[in-house]
Amino acid sequence: MTRRWMVCGLLVMSLLLPGLVRAQDTLMVYSSVDEENAKKLLDAFSKATGVKVRFTFLSSGPAVARIEAEKNNPQADVWYGAPSENHVVLKEKGLSQPYVSPNAKDLAVKFKDPEGYWTSFYMNPLGFASNVNTLKQKGVEPPTSWADLLKPGFKGQVQTPSPQTSGTGYNMVAALILIMGEEKAFDYLKKLNPSIQTYTQSGTAPSKAAAIGQAGVGIQFTPAFLQLIEEGYPLKITFPKEGVGFEAPAISILKGAPHPELAKRLVDWAISLPGQATLTDAKTYFFPVHPKAKVAKDLPAFEEIPTTNYDAIWAGKEKKRLVDRWINEVLRAPK
């Protein structure tokens, strides 16, 4: 009888062992990069390094909440994507760990935490995408300034992400404060409220609504706009002349990560020249952060876009206060 139980035990172990080995060799990622592009990039990483990856898509707000809820028993190794100010929040909450990649030396200071808690791996400007057919019916031209969106013709025609749930939405609020000053920015956002059709939970939802004419204008970062234009949707991209923010999505290794060495390999690869080339080769429409990386010919020159001098560290430290103020003064304001 004992021998029979030993044989059964060995059989069970033989069935379980491959799964255990696979778990030990698999990098677990929470991704705030959109699912399509995350798959492209992480598949390229796996092909280049042999590291298996499993990822779960989460917008920035839910991602931070989940990472914090799991802090005593981390279920992921890496938070991948979301504008870098969100990673500043993660650092301040004590939920990430430092790692200075040898490849980080080539990046500008604004694309990395000085202590290595986060490292940006691409950047994109915020912009407007107008459905030219919808706006033509409304008798208005595509907006070229933040002030244009206050015109009566845009009432109920604009979709933009909520800063409550989306790093993109918070980037817009923070950039407007840097451009206008805090009091003028909040006064503007309250005046903008009647133009807003909906504040979306996801940072990429406005582009889809504008593409099909559900909204006249979508405000978000530009990659999805560029892709939809290539697919034939009647969108026109414009940038507000007063200035726009830009995102520099980052990677953080989570504190207590089950596979920290695999996580370091992802950071290293993402900011290497081969990793940066994947941004273009995989048609993500993202701007590389490595100064020597190739850029797709159909992307506008980043230097030609009126980007503000965005301060991600300030934005990260002020996020809770500014989001709370936005909820109280803008979201709850009558339209």
Is residue 312 domain-shared with residue 178, that is, in the same domain?
yes
Is residue 203 domain-shared with residue 256, that is, in the same domain?
no
Tell me what pLDDT residue 144 has.
97
Tell me what pLDDT residue 333 has.
81
- Cα–chain center distance at 35: 11
Phi/psi of residue 39, nearest 5 degrees: -65, -45
Lowest mean pLDDT among 8-17, 32-41, 55-64, 90-99: 8-17
Domain that holds residue 64: 2-123+248-301
- Whether 82 contacts 167, CB under 8 Å: yes
Is residue 17 domain-shared with residue 47, that is, in the same domain?
yes
Is residue 178 domain-shared with residue 205, that is, in the same domain?
yes
Query: Any idea which residue has 């099909």 for tokens?
Result: 212
Q: Above 90 in pLDDT, residue 14?
A: no
Number of domains in the chain: 2
Q: What is the CATH number of the domain that holds 50?
A: 3.40.190.10
- Whether 47 contacts 232, CB under 8 Å: no
Is residue 320 domain-shared with residue 238, that is, in the same domain?
yes
Is residue 276 domain-shared with residue 239, that is, in the same domain?
no
Is residue 299 very low, low, confident or very high in pLDDT (cuts 50, 70, 90)? confident
Is residue 262 domain-shared with residue 327, that is, in the same domain?
no
Is residue 54 domain-shared with residue 132, that is, in the same domain?
no
List the structure tokens of 261: 């060495």
Tell me what pLDDT residue 5 has.
46
Is residue 130 domain-shared with residue 260, that is, in the same domain?
no
List the structure tokens of 309: 């001098």
List the structure tokens of 115: 């202590």
Q: In terms of pLDDT, which residue wins out, 69 or 304?
A: 69
Instruction: Work out the burial of residue 235: count CB atoms within 10 Å of its CB; fewer than 13 is exposed, 13-18 middle, 19 or more buried.
Output: buried
